[in-house]
Every structure is written in C-alpha cells, then in structure tokens.
Amino acid sequence: MCFAWGVNETWLGLPASAVDEAARRMLGWHLDANGVVVRLTEVEAYSGLGEDPASHAHRGRTARNEVMFGPAGHLYIYQIYGRYLCANIVCGQVGRAAAVLLRAGEVLEGLDAARERRAAARKDADLAAGPAKLMQVLALGRDANGSSVIDGTGPLTVTPPPAPAPAELIEAGPRVGVTSALDVAWRFWIKGDPTVSVYRRHVPRRRGS
DNA sequence: TATTAGATGGTT
DNA sequence: ACCATCTAATAG
C-alpha cells in the first residue's frame, strides 16, 4: 500500500537509533480498535540499544519484552502496578527492540463506547489522557500483545492522517515515570492539546511525616 | 448555589 | 498509573 507518507516506508524502516523521529511522526495518527477511533496526541520513544536505561529492553531479551525484539509494527503490551496496561508500537529493525509508547489521544469516534468504558472521566478530554486510560478506551487486553497494527490482522489498526503534525506544533520533554536519563527529551506531544496527560516529575513515594 | 479546575492521598 | 476526595476558583 502507498500512503502519502508511509506506514512501512518511513517509521517502520527507520533504524532504532531514530526511534525519536518515528515517535514524532506518529503524533496525530489515528488508532482504531473495537469501535473507537483515537487521534494520538502524546507519545514516548524508547530505544533498546542498551544506551537507554529507561527501556524495558535495556537489559536484554526476557519473556515480557519478547515482542520488542521482533518486527516493527507490532504491539508490545505490558502491565503496570499490577492493574493497568500500556501499549507500545515496536519500531526499527528486528533485534533492536525500539518502541514508541502510546500515551494519550483524543477520541474522535465511538464516544458513547469510550464514555462507557471510562466512566470515571469527567470530561471527554480525559477519556484517553494517559497510557492506561487509552487502553481502556480502546478496550485492548493483554491478548493484543504481539499483534500487528498495520496488516489488519490485529484488534488495533493505525492509519496516518492526511498530513504529518507540523514540527512547530510538536513539543518535547523528559519521559514520565523514569528515574534515569532525565536529560533525554523523548516525550513528544501536540502543543496545547487538552488531551495530553499532565507531566509530573517522577518522585519517590513521600516518606512518612 | 452549582459547576469546574487543580491538588492531594491512597491503592496495586 | 488511576481514582476518590478535598479545596479553590469560577459562573449564574
């Protein structure tokens, strides 16, 4: 297939060292799953080269991060805090284990279903304002781990918007929830978008008193 | 008074 | 990370 700026000829084929560029390009993409369409507004890039201590693949291949080492365009889903799920799209080349974490988005279609799945959201902008919220809205479970997002065989399909997000509308900052590599500004979001999750510097749980 | 936005503490 | 709860700010 041949998009104006392609799924498989741009970010999919980028070297893992350019995963930050892949992340930038994914802003604005549409995520379609289970009757809900979300416009991606916030992402984070992770390199698996061993130079990125924040990456799950940093210390090598394990049962959990297995799919990160596979081909690009597949979902890497992991559980956090024993309760919530987050999803990455594997980028780069086989064996390199680069990935882009899907952090937040704006619900474009399927508002009724989204509101039902995220009853706690007070405003529509909060429906998918966080990686685990995004997963709830899209109703993706652990079984989606390893599935493809580009060949139509998986529960989630990604499609590029008519045009890439303008560079002047993309802002960058340190990634959320990581204690190392704070100097690496690999979190990207669409400037001023209300669906972007609020950044809070990671702080160890407060001591008593 | 009623609604909304922001901050805090708790849970897993 | 999410959520319930509280407080402050705001609107009618």
Angle at A89 between CA A137 and CA A130, to 5 degrees: 35
pLDDT at A15: 61
Q: Please tell me the pTM assigned to this model.
A: 0.89
DSSP string, A67-86: GGGS-TTBEEEEEETTTEEE
Q: pLDDT class for A200, splitting at 50, 70, 90?
A: low
Give the span between the Cα atoms of A103 and A105, in whole angstroms: 7
**C1' of B12 to CA of A25 (Å):** 34
In strand C, which positions have an atom below 7 A from any protein CB?
1-4
Per the structure, the residue whose CA is closest to nucleotide B3 at C1' is A122
Q: Which run of H or of E encompasses A31?
A: strand A30-33
Give the span between the Cα atoms of A106 and A182, in whole angstroms: 27
In strand B, which positions have an atom below 7 A from any protein CB?
5, 9, 11-12
Give the span between the Cα atoms of A104 and A114, in whole angstroms: 14
Lowest model confidence (mean pLDDT) among A115-129, A142-156, A178-192: A178-192
Q: How many CB atoms lie within 10 A of CB A129?
A: 25
Q: Which nucleotide is nearest to A198 (CA to C1')?
A: B6
Across all residues in chain A, what is the average pLDDT? 85
- Residue A6, pLDDT above cutoff 70: no
**C1' of B2 to CA of A21 (Å):** 47
- Count Cα neighbours of A174 within 13 Å in the Cβ-side half-sphere: 13
pLDDT in tens, A153-198: 999 999 888 788 899 999 998 888 777 788 888 999 998 888 887 6
